[in-house]
Every structure is written in structure tokens, then in C-alpha cells.
């Protein structure tokens, strides 16, 4: 339960940063010397719940396993040259 909440919260935080960045770019577009910024995002760690190749029953295995992502974060921003 808490894992899902933290994952959702990190996604909402990165989306809010993206929205703030778009608003900043629009507000300053007519300013002399302004350069647009672009945010870059990356995934956080994945947890392996079921390992690939683990036994499901005595005769079958999970071919791909099960991984759960733990959200996203802002990795960097770049200034776009125009």
C-alpha cells in the first residue's frame, strides 16, 4: 500500500515540476536573452518481486518475472540554444 502511494507521489511531483517548467518558459518567452529549459526525467529503482526463471509450479517457470517500479525523478535540465 505504502509503496503505491510513494510511487504515485513521486510521479505527481515530477509532473508538477514539468508543469512549472512549461509555465516558466511561457512566462519568459518574450524576455530578451531568454533561453528555454527542458527537464529530463529518469526511473527510480525497480524491485524484483519474482525473479525471471523462478518456479511457478514444479513444471512451469515465470519467463519474465515481476518488477515493480518505484517512481520517477528529475534527472537534469538542459538549456535549449535557439
Counted domains in the chain? 1
What whole-number distance in Å separates Cα of residue 16 and Cα of residue 45?
A: 21
What does the pLDDT profile of the chain (82 residues) look like in tens digits?
A: 788 898 889 999 999 999 999 999 999 999 998 999 999 999 888 888 877 777 777 778 777 777 888 889 889 989 987 6
pLDDT reported for residue 22: 95
pLDDT reported for residue 82: 66
pLDDT reported for residue 37: 93
pLDDT reported for residue 57: 78
> Which candidate, 43, 42, 34, places its Cα nearest to that of 79?
34
> Which candidate, 43, 45, 47, 46, places its Cα nearest to that of 72?
43
Q: In terms of residue numbers, what domain contains 22?
A: 2-79
Amino acid at each position: 500500500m505504502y509503496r503505491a502511494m510513494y510511487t504515485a507521489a513521486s510521479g505527481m511531483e515530477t509532473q508538477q515540476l514539468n508543469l512549472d517548467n512549461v509555465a516558466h518558459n511561457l512566462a519568459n518567452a518574450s524576455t530578451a536573452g531568454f533561453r528555454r529549459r527542458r527537464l529530463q526525467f529518469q526511473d527510480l529503482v525497480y524491485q524484483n518481486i519474482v525473479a525471471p526463471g523462478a518456479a511457478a509450479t514444479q513444471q512451469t517457470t515465470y519467463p519474465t518475472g515481476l518488477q515493480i517500479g518505484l517512481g520517477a525523478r528529475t534527472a537534469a535540465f538542459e538549456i535549449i540554444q535557439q
